[in-house]
Amino acid sequence: MMVNVGMKKHVPVLGKIAPNPRVTLSAAFALACVLSVPVFLVLSLVDWLFL
């Protein structure tokens, strides 16, 4: 059995089936910003302490 076979089965809830989720460009940009700021701060702190 393939891994994605189980995910292709749509389960109706109250007679409605939700569309598949999609990653939008704005969500990708927001995720990149949220991840880049802490990484920048940690790397800057490491650079300041050890170099």
pLDDT at 15: 86
In terms of DSSP H, where are the helices of 1-51?
A: 5-8, 25-50
Q: What is the pTM of this model?
A: 0.51
Q: Which two structure tokens, joined as six digits, stand for 38?
A: 């802490």
Q: Report the C-alpha gap between 38 and 33 in whole angstroms.
A: 9
Full pLDDT tens readout for the chain, 51 residues = 455 555 667 778 888 888 877 879 999 999 999 999 999 999 999 999 998
Position 16 scores a pLDDT of 87
